Each structure stands twice: as C-alpha cells, then as structure tokens.
Amino acid sequence: MLHWNEFRAWVNIDGIAAPEYGVEVLEKENTVVCWIPSELGKKFSICWRNSSFPHDVGGYVQVDGTACGGHICYHQRDLNDTFEKSGVTSGATLKPFVFSSIELTEDDTFLGYSSLQDLGRIELTLKRVKVFRTNVAPVVYSLSNRTINERSKKAVVTQQITLAKPERLDQPVRCVSVQPVGPDIVKFCFKYRPIDVLRANEVVLPLSKFKRKASAEPHHTRTPDEDLADAEEEKVLRDKLNDIQQKLRALEEKRLKKKIQPRIKSEEDCVVRPRLERKKKKIKLEPTEIDLT
C-alpha cells in the first residue's frame, strides 16, 4: 500500500492486494512510484482511500496513458471509505481491466510511437475538486489493443491493459461533473511487469536467493524399523524426563515445607533460670589523713 499524507493507494489483482517493490517517494513531483507483478488474463482494480483531507477529492485513473475516469470522495461522508476503479462503465455495464499480451510486428511504421511511452503504467491522480452538476450522462472510455515493433525499446514491455467482456451492474452508475481546484495533490504510479521480468531486472530477488542448496548426499528413504526405533527412543527419553520432573517437584515441596515450618523451642529453653546472686565484695576503708599545717 502506497502512502502520501492522508491518502493510501494500492492495486488489487483478482481481489488480492498486489505486492509492491522498489517504492520511491518523489517529494518535488508529489509522486509515489512502485513496481507490481502482472499476470496475463488477471483482472485488477485501482483502490484508494482518504483518511482526513478536508475537501472533496477526485481520483482519476489512467492505464497505459489512456484516461479511464474515476471516483469522487466527498469529505463530509466518505472519509476512510475505499474507492475502487475496476474498469470503464457505460452506466449500466462495466468492462473490467485485464492484463493482456502485446502483439509484436516487424513493420517499421510501428517504431517510435509516442503513444507507447506510458505503456506498462497504472496511474491514479488525486485532485481537489468542486462538484457543479450531478446526474450527467457517463463518459464512455475505451482501450484498444496495441501493436509495437519487436525492435523497439518498448519491446521489453510484453503486456498491456485491455478490457474484458462487459458485466451488468446491479445498480446504474451515477455521474457528476466537477471542476479541479488548484494543483494535483499526489500521483500514485504502479509500473507493472511479469514477475520474471522483475526478477531479471533485480527489482525482485531471484528465486535462487531463496532456494536451499541441494545436498551432495543421496536422498535416504526411511524404513519402518527406523521409525519404530525412533519411537522407542522417544518413549525412553520421555520416561526419563517425567522421572526427573517428579524428583524436582518433590525437592521443591520439601524446600517449601522447610522454609515455612515454625521453630519450636525445647522445654529446657522455656525454663526461666533464676539469676545467680553475686557475692558482695567487702571494701576495706582506710582512714584518710588531712594535713592542717
């Protein structure tokens, strides 16, 4: 999940949040960029949330450089709600986004197409907006299959985004007209590639980094006798452990009893012995002479 102040954005693929790699926050451009793995035939949606921005916000989606509409978040009622753009709509139906393959050609007329510069990118731009008209007819967006020259630098992009078959909506979509107010708040950019391409370009660690080295020793298949011997050894060890625990408990109880047992005096200690009278020592008084001269 990408973060920018009060806003969060992510891509769900088949209903599960896609892992994000190489996240970059470009402060000067008010842009957050990351890579996500794509898979042919998988449907996806762009999701976002406003936690506390105190204005109405429009979330506008572009895929491969083509505008596909968006959603409005009303700050008085929609804070912390999740908005999800999963395709383009005619009002009554929805054509979901889906990852598709690109057709390659040797025709040089397909070299250097400027329309290919945004290929492989899913973008969500958030803008402060003012709603000035409601219940308007929806704008019908479309995506066309692209063909690129196999010698083009863009040939490393092997997938594109197209639209799946239309699905009927339970409720018709209501549309409004809005006017952007001020500069863009933030742009979230998800650059998609197959997972193998991300590994080859070291955006994602290759599988070899996670695999354990194979042991040089041949694999040994355990026999029933070995399992039985292990079970018997475990039983012996458990019995010894239980015996040691019982002895420890007995010692602990003995120590506690000794600590709390009151000290009992013997009868001899309780006898009050009379104090021995000391013989008075006679003091001999001698006359004292006083000189009066």
Question: Which pLDDT belongs to residue 192?
Answer: 97
Q: E strands of 137-240, at which residues?
A: 147-149, 159-163, 167-168, 175-194
What's the pLDDT tens digit per position in 30-56? 999 999 999 999 999 999 999 999 999
What's the pLDDT tens digit per position in 215-269? 444 555 556 556 666 767 776 777 787 778 778 777 877 777 665 555 444 444 4
Q: E strands of the chain, at which residues?
A: 2-4, 7-13, 16-17, 21-26, 31-38, 43-50, 57-63, 66-73, 82-85, 87-89, 93-101, 103-105, 121-136, 147-149, 159-163, 167-168, 175-194
What's the pLDDT tens digit per position in 133-180? 887 877 878 887 877 777 665 556 889 999 999 999 988 888 888 899
| Prediction pTM value | 0.68
Least Cα distance to 197 among 149, 155, 148, 144 occurs for 155
- Compute the distance between CA of residue 245 and CA of residue 123 in angstroms, rounded to an integer: 64
Region of poorest pLDDT, from 15-29, 93-107, 233-247: 233-247
